[in-house]
Amino acid sequence: MNSEPLRTPRRMVFNQKLISSPQELLLSLFRRLNLTKNKQNINMVEVTSSSSSHQLTRRKPGRASSNWKTLQTVLPQVPAAVKARNAQRKKIKNQAIISLPHTQSSSTTSITPSTSSNPTTQKLLDILQNSPTHRTSANQTEIGKYLAVDCEMVGVGPRGNEQSALARVSIVNYYGNVVLDTYVRPKEKVTDYRTWVSGIKPQHLENASSFEDVTRKVADLIQDKILIGHAISNDLQALLLTHPRQLIRDTSTYQPLRKLAKTKFPGLKKLALLVLDIEIQKDSHCSVDDARATLAIYRTQKDQWESLVKKEQALAKKEQVRQQTRPPA
């Protein structure tokens, strides 16, 4: 029997189909990236098998021992000027996406009148701003007594379709001018942006305001205001806010509108078509236009609606007085 110790045969990594070590994996990666032309830089690597370790040996001295440093020497480098230009483009893009109207919470602050080239939006603004009784009104840019709100949601949770989180809030004044329109950064991880219906995309929420900041602004704005919305309880729940019942005007529960739509829970799209003869929500929703549509529907019913509210409040007050003056049993 030969007494010489067994030697582990040396193998050329480039001739091996089965990768059995980190060094072989690195060289295989070099080959896949068509970096074999740099073979003269890294020479031929000999893999020596050992029961405890694998050692990489290069023929040229002075090379860095780090595989990552070696890889960096052969990969193309992005010039600093290109990196700076790309970063500036991303910054400008984000600013353009998130540039929503800035809102003051003071009731005396003026707002810029809204204009739009969108046909649906323009029809809504014409109804809200150009009616004969309001055409020359000087208070179209004030926040005023009436506010309409609408929110957009995104999906959170494992499936994305079982839980919702607030992603956008829009509030307009009596004439449809934007008082507040802001994206909201959800606390939970978004698993479904619901873009097809919400219009929300990932980039919209990158620099969005925090939930706490938005709800604080909304709470300040709607205090003591008549708040108009469609299924407004969903919006208030998403905002974690409450509002006095006597100051809420919900177009989804107003009985005359239910009768008109011949359903107990009429959708906003259906009501807009029936009452305003305007088709909204053709594609994804726009919370600003939805708020304007809700407001326009309310204004067609305002006189009758407010008269009914006054009667209900008078009856409630009379009943309260009766209960207080009733002698104890």
Q: How far apart are the first and last CA of the chain?
A: 118
Assigned token pair, 44: 């031929």
Q: What is the pLDDT of residues 75-91, one digit of tens each?
A: 556 677 666 666 665 55
- For 50, phi then psi, to 5°, come to -145, 155
For the stretch 276-314, pLDDT in tens is 999 998 887 899 999 999 999 999 999 999 999 999 999
Average pLDDT over residues 192-204: 90
CA angle 129, 132, 137 (to 5 degrees): 55
pLDDT at 325: 82
3-state class of 327 per DSSP? Answer: coil
| Residue 248: strand, helix, or coil | strand
**Residues 150 and 235 sit within 8 Å (Cβ to Cβ):** yes
Please give the model's pTM, rounded to 2 decimal places: 0.64
Is the pLDDT higher at 175 or at 141? 175
Contact between 175 and 228 (Cβ < 8 Å): no
- The dihedral over CA atoms of 230, 127, 172, 160, expressed in degrees to the nearest 10, equals 40
| CB contact at 8 A, 154 and 204 | no
Residue ranges covered by each domain of the chain:
13-74, 111-323
Which of these, 181, 261, 172, lies nearest to 222 by C-alpha position? 172
The class that CATH gives domain 111-323 is alpha beta
